[in-house]
Amino acid sequence: MDRVVNAATSPVDGGRVLLIGDISTALLDAAHVDRYPCEVRANILEGIDAAARGRFAAVGVVMEGTAHQLGPALQALRKGTRARILLLAQMHEEPMARRFVAGPDDEKRADAYLVCPTCLASLCSHAGVSQEPEDGRQIAGDSRPPSSVLPPPELAKLEQRIRHLERLATTDDLTGLKNRRYIWEFARQILEHARQTKGRVTLLVFDIDDFKHYNDVYGHPTGDEILRQAAILMRRCCRTHDVVGRIGGDEFAVVFWDDPNRTAGEIERERRSASAEHPSEAILVARRFQKEFGNADLRLLGPDGRGVLTISGGLASFPRDGTTVQQLFERADLALRDAKGSGKNRIYLVGEPKSDIADIR
């Protein structure tokens, strides 16, 4: 279904992309933007004006720093241009970006989103603009590289291919969860965000007790199935914006962070509440998972398959237990080892040795 556009709608041009916002954090090669068929407007209003008056194949909007204004700004862009609207989202902005691209064609406010940091070549491909940067070569009368618009079928194929490669690079093949690379990068970005917004981040690292035993006794396919079940259960127990990953062997990690959809009032109330000291949501999720995993009916383990699986874990919070990804992982891992050493089937909070989250009220 075609979008309804008003009289101010700018025509679509083949080869150029308009970038709105501070591209320095969104694009790894932002410094080389002049080598690509791109124009940049740092201010969002100037960007909307350029989009409505200019001819662009696509408009890329950097989400960072525009949180509260993004909705109305995208709505205005939609009215003002027929160009594809691409959101450049930091990992923690992905849930919000997903909402903007959801819904029927005539309702969604953006066409696609890219998780940052990304690069200009990838952006141009998503925009349907094919180009090759011209390092050091000057085209007579134009310093820009040649550009053209891909026909829709080829564009769709290219997008599909890019999405597939992105999935491969960030997903754990066995469980479908995020992989170690994604979790570390996400944690790095969300900590940066939390530093600026005084947000809370909690990291849970856990593994399955005696996993090697199940692998050895029941075989690797059974071991794989246990990992898959753990992944499904953990995903089910978490809130939609929490990020769950498998970071190796039978080891999993969950990054809990403040719900991006909360209002400023809700954030303030939470900060004042007693639960702010220990992220209560993370503890609740971990407890729920521990319980459900313990009760999981794994027929692969035979008639006694119910209730035999347990996990041990460690929880570390920013900024109390560490301010970098490395520190948080190290502290959570230490707590996990403490939990193992204390008889397994428990989750310890950093800084509270021998204190299982089951005892925390």
Partner 1 sequence: MTAKGNSGLGSCVVVVGAPGSEFVRTTVRLAREWAIDAVPCDDVYSAVVGLAGQVGRRVLVLGGIRELTRENGAFFSIASAHAVQCCCLLDKSSSAKRRAMLAALRAGASVIGDVQEVGGVLREWLAMAGQGGSPRARNASQTKRLSHDTPGTVYEDLRATEAELNALLG
Closer CB to partner 1, residue 79 or residue 320? 79
Residue 267's H or E segment, with its range, is helix 264-272
Nearer to partner 1, 7 or 264 (CB): 7
Q: Show the beta-strand stretches assigned E in 5-158.
A: 17-20, 38-41, 58-62, 84-89, 112-115, 129-131, 147-149
Q: Is the peptide bond before 279 cis (omega within 30 degrees of 0)?
A: no
Nearest to 70 by CA among 92, 99, 39, 41: 99
In the bound state with partner 1, the residue whose beta carbon lies nearer, of 46 and 277, is: 46
Complex with partner 1: residue 43 or 275, whichever CB lies closer: 43
Q: How far is the CB of 45 from partner 1 (least distance, A)?
A: 4
Q: CA–CA separation, 67 vs 27, rounded Å?
A: 18
Nearer to partner 1 by Cβ, of 7 and 274: the residue is 7
CB of 117 to partner 1, least distance (A): 24
Contacting residues for 209 by C-beta, under 8 A, at least 6 apart: 309, 310, 311, 312, 340, 344, 345
Nearer to partner 1, 8 or 156 (CB): 8
Nearest distance from C-beta of residue 289 to partner 1, angstroms = 42
The set of residues, in sequence order, having a beta carbon less than 8 Å from that of 192 and lying 6+ positions away, is: none
Smallest gap from Cβ 11 to partner 1, in A, equals 12
Residue with tokens 């992220």: 279
The nearest distance, CB 59 to partner 1, in angstroms, is 12
What the block records as the tokens of 7 is 């009289």
Rounded distance between C-alpha atoms, residue 79 and residue 64, angstroms: 22
- What is the closest distance, in whole angstroms, from the C-beta atom of residue 49 to partner 1 in the complex? 5
54 vs 294, beta carbon nearer partner 1:
54
**Closest approach of Cβ 81 to partner 1, in Å?**
9
As measured in angstroms, the least distance from the Cβ of 7 to partner 1 is 5
58 vs 12: CA distance, rounded Å:
8
Closest to 298 in 3D by CA, of 210, 224, 207, 212:
224
Complex with partner 1: residue 6 or 240, whichever CB lies closer: 6
Among residues 44 and 190, whose Cβ is nearest to partner 1?
Answer: 44
Indicate the pairing of strand 112-115 with strand 84-89: parallel
Q: Among positive and negative, which fits the CA dihedral 123, 125, 129, 134? A: positive
Residues that bind partner 1 (CB under 8 A): 6-8, 10, 43-46, 48-49, 52-53, 69, 72-73, 75-77, 79-80
Phi first, then psi, for residue 238 (nearest 5°) are -80, 165
Residue 74 Cβ, how far from partner 1 at the closest point, in Å?
9
Q: How far is the CB of 24 from partner 1 (least distance, A)?
A: 18
Residue 236's contacts (CB-CB under 8 Å, 6 or more residues apart) are 292
Cα distances from 127 to residues 99, 226, 232, in angstroms, run 20, 41, 34
CB nearer to partner 1: pick between 63 and 350? 63
